[in-house]
Amino acid sequence: MPAVESTVQVRYAETDQMGVVYYANYLVWMEVARVAYCREAGFEYSDMERESGAYLAVTEARCSYRSPARFNDKVRIVCRVTEVRSRTVRFAYEMRRGGELLATGETLHAVTNAQGKMIRMPERYRKFFPLSR
């Protein structure tokens, strides 16, 4: 499975009084990129929740900010899966404006049921997250 690229255009709502995008919003863009990754991999994340009762709950997130995104920028987010275990999945992200690297990030997710208890990735979704070697 190759990397999947998404694009967001910066909303006014996402800026702060420093005139740049508020730092927490990069995590929202990572979510947008993850959902696009799932779609490209072959399933809608919303279906995974609804049909299998399986959730990708975030257990760790980090972001390194290199250069600030600004209102109206088109930000490309490259998302890849960097680690898959029976109950966890790790995603990595690169956010760019044109060729310029704005930020890199990473999220680690536990597969859980609706009650938040860790479960194994449902059988039918395993193929979408090829085990890394």
Shortest separation between residue 133's beta carbon and a copy of itself, angstroms:
27
CA 98 and chain centroid, separation:
20
Q: What is the DSSP letter of 132?
A: P
- Cα separation, 121 vs 118, in Å, equals 9
Q: Which residues sit at the interface with a copy of itself, rule CB under 8 A?
A: 11-13, 15-20, 22-25, 27-28, 31-32, 35, 44-46, 55, 57-65, 68, 70-72, 107, 116
| Sign of the four-CA dihedral 107, 112, 118, 120 | negative
Which residue, 62 or 127, has its beta carbon nearer to a copy of itself? 62
Which residue, 66 or 130, has its beta carbon nearer to a copy of itself? 66
Active-site position among 1, 7, 16, 62: 16
Nearest in space to 127 (alpha carbons), one of 56, 2, 42: 42
Which residue, 11 or 127, has its beta carbon nearer to a copy of itself? 11
Which residue numbers are catalytic? Answer: 16
